[in-house]
A = this chain, B = another copy of it.
Amino acid sequence: MTTSEATAQAERIRATVTAYLDAVASGVATDVAALYTENATLEDPVGSEPRVGRAAITEFYKAIETTENTTELFTLRISGANAAFHFRVTTKVAEQTYAIEPIDVMTFDEAGRITTMRAFWAPSDTVQH
């Protein structure tokens, strides 16, 4: 891979991560799942049984459709076709606001679509306001 190809790959990955956080905030499960490949896997939190395929992934994101969420990217590191990023999801439920700040690790195909996602966090990381 040439330097310009590597740069283009990193730009595609950065665009997907940005689109991912925007889609999570906008709250439409199919929009989030559309960023994944058809046979992608999702392990959230890491150590749990992975969800396999876009239907299962869409089901996973249904939770964001009943809550009001905002997202904020803190740090994104890209290594080849892999990314790790630290971000915040803030969720409003009734009068309560919850924030989690996971580190997600993703791999991507040549088109910048997500092939695997693994979310590093523990319930004890949740902050309630």
Contacts and interface: CB of A to CB of B under 8 A. Distances in A.
Contacts of A101: 75
A46 B122 contact: no
A79 B119 CA distance: 8
A72 B43 CA distance: 28
A10 B47 CA distance: 13
Chain A interface, DSSP helix/strand/loop, else mixed: strand
A79 to B, nearest CB: 4
B79 A122 contact: yes
A61 interface: no
A105 interface: yes
A15 B8 CA distance: 39
User: 9 tightest A-B contacts by CB?
Assistant: A47-B80, A46-B79, A84-B120, A84-B103, A77-B120, A45-B79, A77-B103, A46-B82, A79-B120
